[in-house]
Structure 1
Amino acid sequence: MSEQKYTVDARGEQCPIPVVKTKKVLDGIRGDAEITVLVDNETAVQNLTRMGKHAGAEVSSVKKSDKEFHVIMKVRDRQPDETSVSEEVKCIPDVKGDFVIAVDTATMGRGNDELGKVLMKGFIFAVTQLETLPETILFYNGGATLTTEGSDSLEDIKSLEAQGVTIKTCGTCLNYYGLTDKLEVGEVTNMYDITETLAKAGKVVKP
């Protein structure tokens, strides 16, 4: 059976409506399918992401504009007994915590750079799986390459942005690496803002 594709338009709806509408479609799926949910706020993205992951779907999201977000759920070989229709729908107002992640390199740890790249990609993916998301992620020096064209982590970083995480990349760093026109996610920032963001954070995590 070929992959089925569905679109759920939940723009203008408040929680739990986007989740309820999507669950209704998800619970009726058999086999492989992709559901694209259109919403207009970050909280809906967060709740849909939680529901989709709980249901065993592969979930990604992207911020199209300040009032348009797409949440994509992919399910594989879903069977008739895989249903969560009776489960209670829970709405969580916000799942961001008072901490900032500072990424200053495209690799994680010291030793082998190729291994470091794999570890960094895994780290950023792991951030998308946290119960409590960071308030902001700062990318500077070599870390600036992760938010630009060709980065293996773009999908995960875009998903974090769609869930309300502020993504900021150092403008001086982009210019130094010749990537000023290659930024794919988030906004350009400066050293004053980076310093202020770090100073105000309840906790700073540095991979």
Structure 2
Amino acid sequence: MNKQVDARGLSCPKPVIETKKVLDQLTEGSITTIVDNEVAMQNVIKLAKSLHFDVVIKEVEKDFYVQMSKGEAGEEILCEIDQERDLAILFGSDTLGEGSEELGKILMKGYVYTLTEYTPYPKTLLFMNSGVKLTTEGSEVLGYLKQLESEGVEVLVCGTCLDYFHLKDKRAVGSVSNMYAIVDAFHGSKNRVTL
């Protein structure tokens, strides 16, 4: 049996997310993801290979058909991924990366959205400096953060930072926290990422 994911026209990271949803449920057979650009094709291939799926690519007109079937280690790897993730992510900015601020906001929105689709969820999200702006009214990622919080992800927001930016009354997700609690949560996690 071959399942199909038509990801043509979807922007990054949606082709990968939609493919992963089907791969996670695949017990036998294969899946074919159809994409309309090389970047999406490469991203889907990387996902499949990271999960130890065998990959065959066909190009039909301008579309790429990425067929994936479970390799020998596929089942074992998928079980490993389902384990709880002891991960703390520290958001020190409301943009992702350096360079264009506009692009940084787009990338941050894509990153936080992807967190809602990528399981297991992180244990804790920490917001400092201009990163606290992500937790306030009008933030483009507020809905995603609320969704993560409703799924049990701890969201801690630096109170000093909210005061500095005059945003304490506009916080719409998470708990106002202090530096000790933030350091304790960050260093108490097995895995840590700073953005």
TM bin, normalised by shorter chain, reads 0.5 to 0.7
Q: Does 1:192 align with 2:180?
A: yes
Q: Which amino acid aligns with 1:183?
A: R
**Which one of the candidate residues 70, 88, 102 is aligned to 1:114?**
102
Which residue of the partner structure matches residue 159 of structure 2?
Answer: 171
Q: CA deviation at 1:131?
A: 1.7
Residue in structure 2 matched with residue 131 of structure 1 by the alignment? 119
1:206 pairs with 2:170:
no
Taking the aligned partners of 1:203 and 1:187, their CA distance within structure 2 comes to: 21
Q: Is the 8 A contact 1:95 1:133 kept in 2?
A: no
CA distance in 2, matches of 1:158, 1:109: 23
Decide whether the 8 Å contact of 1:170 with 1:188 is kept in 2: yes
> Is 1:162 aligned to 2:165, yes or no?
no
Number of paired residues?
118
Per-residue displacement from partner, 1:83-127 (whole Å, max 9, x unpaired)? xxxxxxxxxxx9742110110100000110010000001000011
Structure 1 residue 192, shift from structure 2 partner = 0.6
Q: Report the CA distance shift for 1:114/1:206 in structure 2 as closer, same or farther (over 3 A).
A: same
Change (3 A) 1:158 1:111: same
Give the percent of matched residue pairs that are identical in Structure 1 and Structure 2: 43
Q: How far apart are residue 156 of structure 1 and its match?
A: 0.2
Distance 1:131 1:144 in 2: 24
Q: 2:136 matched to 1:148?
A: yes
* Distance of 1:132 and 1:205 partners within structure 2: 15
Q: In the alignment, is the contact (CA less than 8 A) between 1:108 and 1:120 conserved in 2?
A: yes
Question: Hey, which bits of structure 1, 4+ residues long, moved more than 6 A?
Answer: none
Q: Displacement, 1:186?
A: 1.0
Q: Superposition RMSD on alpha carbons, in Å?
A: 2.0
Any idea what SS the aligned residue of 1:151 has?
A: coil
Q: Which runs of 5+ in 2 are unaligned?
A: 1-20, 26-81
Q: Partners of 1:95 and 1:202 in 2: how far apart?
A: 13
Unaligned residue ranges in structure 1 (runs of 5+)? 1-49, 55-93
TM-score between the two structures when normalised by the length of structure 2: 0.57
Larger Cα-atom Rg: 2
- Once the two structures are TM-superposed, the CA of residue 139 in structure 1 deviates from its matched residue by 0.5
Helix, strand or coil at the partner of 2:108: helix
Structure holding more helix per residue:
2
Give yes or no for the alignment of 1:182 onto 2:159.
no
User: Aligned match of 1:104 in 73, 76, 92?
Assistant: 92
* TM superposition shift of 1:198: 1.2
